[in-house]
Structure 1
Amino acid sequence: MESCQDRGAITYRVATEADVEQIVKIENQAFTVPWPAEAFYQDILTNRFALYLLLEYEGKVAGYCGVWIVIDEAHITNIALFPEYRGKRLGQNLLKKMMSTAKEAGAETMTLEVRVTNFPAKSLYKKLGFQEGGIRKNYYTDNQEDALVMWVNL
């Protein structure tokens, strides 16, 4: 997939090995248990099911979204923005772009996990049609918080 321009200041493109440093910076600012750089290198370089999109806003990397697409299901592995880009609907735009990209790749459904206490994220997912599917008990390693599994038909 090539870069595409949407809504003037927003550009999307597929992440490459050269983008891992920026992805890790976002990851470290967004999550209490961030993925290590090696996980992103492995996904981007060797995982044929993985796809990472970057969102650039006014020429700067603002966020990323990772997905694994296996047969007809897409699973969001990560989605995050630098803190200064939150609250501008960029996360919503990025997720919509990933949903359409996954659908174009043959996915019929999309799933994700979210902390049960992450109300802003849950609100966004519900706004985009995600439904609650179940709970993964003690899913998060930092505090054993439960994860809410959500899904949507694409």
Structure 2
Amino acid sequence: ARIVSTWGDRELGDAAKAVLAKLRAVLPRNLKAQFDALGVMAPPAHYQATVVIDLARVRRAVRAKKKIRFSYADANGTTSKRTIWPLTLSFYGAVWTVPGWCELRQDFRAFRADRMQDLEVLEERIPPDADKTLAAYLKREGVKDLNELT
């Protein structure tokens, strides 16, 4: 929960804390001291790239299977407007990314959240398409076992 609270958004951090509280509540008394002394440290996210979009809105769009639109700046600062079918949120090092199917490029792309602005969650739902799923994206990225990611 400390890591999620430090590196995630408030909604995700609150959910992680609630899960830990529920776990602690059902533990036998003799295990609570061990649980409380896990010794996990989450340093402040002072070197994390600044994200101006609301990651909770992206998560809700993923769950609701709704398209999102945003302005995106590439590594050179060139901006473009993108509409994607968001598949998930992922976190690598100090960077959140939003992998999805990009309508402009007609291909999977992973967009850095710190380069996204003006996020809109569209009412348009993602069409059911077996070729544009999270599993298809991960397979293309070389992930053979989804359990590697959790």
Structure with the greater relative contact order (CA < 8 A, sep ≥ 6): 1 or 2? Answer: 2
Normalised TM-score (structure 1): 0.28
Normalised TM-score (structure 2): 0.29
Q: More strand per residue: 1 or 2? A: 1
Q: Which has the larger radius of gyration?
A: 2
